[in-house]
Amino acid sequence: MREGDYLPLLQIALREDLGDSGDVTSQAVAPDGERAATLWSKDTGVLAGEEVFAAVFRAIDTDVRVRFALHDGAFLEKGQRVAEVTGRAVSVLSGERTSLNFISFLSGIATATRSLVMQARATGNAVILDTRKTLPGWRALSKYAVTVGGGRNHRQGLYDMVLIKDNHIDSAGSIAEAVRRVRARWGTRFVVEVECRSAAEVSDALAAGVDIIMLDNMEAEEIRREVQRIAGRAKVEASGTMTPERIPAVSAAGVDFISVGAITHSVRSFDFSLKIA
């Protein structure tokens, strides 16, 4: 993860929390001198976001020191000591909520991803992918957390691969024509994936020679039939309302990938607390 992936978002978060006056409560109440605070896990799951957690305090006060006892990817148990933050009390308190917001959300993503990865592995070899369904500005961080949880990133944006979806197909008139236009414009520069809503569209995508076929909103048995028919001529992704309950059956159907938007837009934040000793 690069600093540029999170620094603008971090600056926005601090500006909205501290405003022009800073933490007026802590400025009045916090004692002079250094204090140490401990980051505790109040939940069970996967840690993600240590770098941005520490960066919050550096942005407030370069003299604040953050030391992690555990690192991104570690499995946390409730009551576990995760990190220690040492510095001027007012600086530590000023960064408390913003730092927790970042690490809680990212650890929630990593935890949800890890759960789905384990479910998929239990019945098949499907790789869990994220999507572009991310909070604006949070994409790089959210997709980082997915990788910490054992998932893989799909496209980062509209610029790094071709994904021909229903509106593209309807606009072009057919899958064949949509793929033809892509090849005419870009040649083989980009991987080409096509969203298929029926067996007939899968046949059209195969005839067009696409790289990945997305089976959209199909039941597990229908997915199994299409995977057998595709027979390795393209990679296969399953998408559409991929809930934890559906993942095992879909993975068992033999797909290469399962894309899940919920892991970046609907996760429960991990519960941490930061306590001053």
Q: Does residue 26 have a pLDDT over 90?
A: yes
How far is the C-alpha of 224 from the C-alpha of 226, rounded, in Å? 6
166 catalytic, yes or no? no
143 catalytic, yes or no? no
Summarize the confidence of residues 120-125 as an average pLDDT. Answer: 97
- Which pLDDT value is given to residue 115? 98
Q: Does residue 43 have a pLDDT over 90?
A: yes
216 catalytic, yes or no? yes
Of 140, 66, 72, nearest to 107 by C-alpha is: 72
**Opening angle at CA 160, ends 150 and 204, nearest 5:** 95
**Tens digits of residue pLDDT in 85-113:** 999 999 999 999 999 999 999 999 999 99
Q: Does residue 246 have a pLDDT over 90?
A: yes
Catalytic position from the list 195, 226, 237, 256: 195
Q: Does residue 1 have a pLDDT over 90?
A: no
**Tens digits of residue pLDDT in 173-215:** 999 999 999 999 999 999 999 999 999 999 999 999 999 999 9
Catalytic position from the list 133, 152, 181, 246: 133
pLDDT, the chain, mean: 97
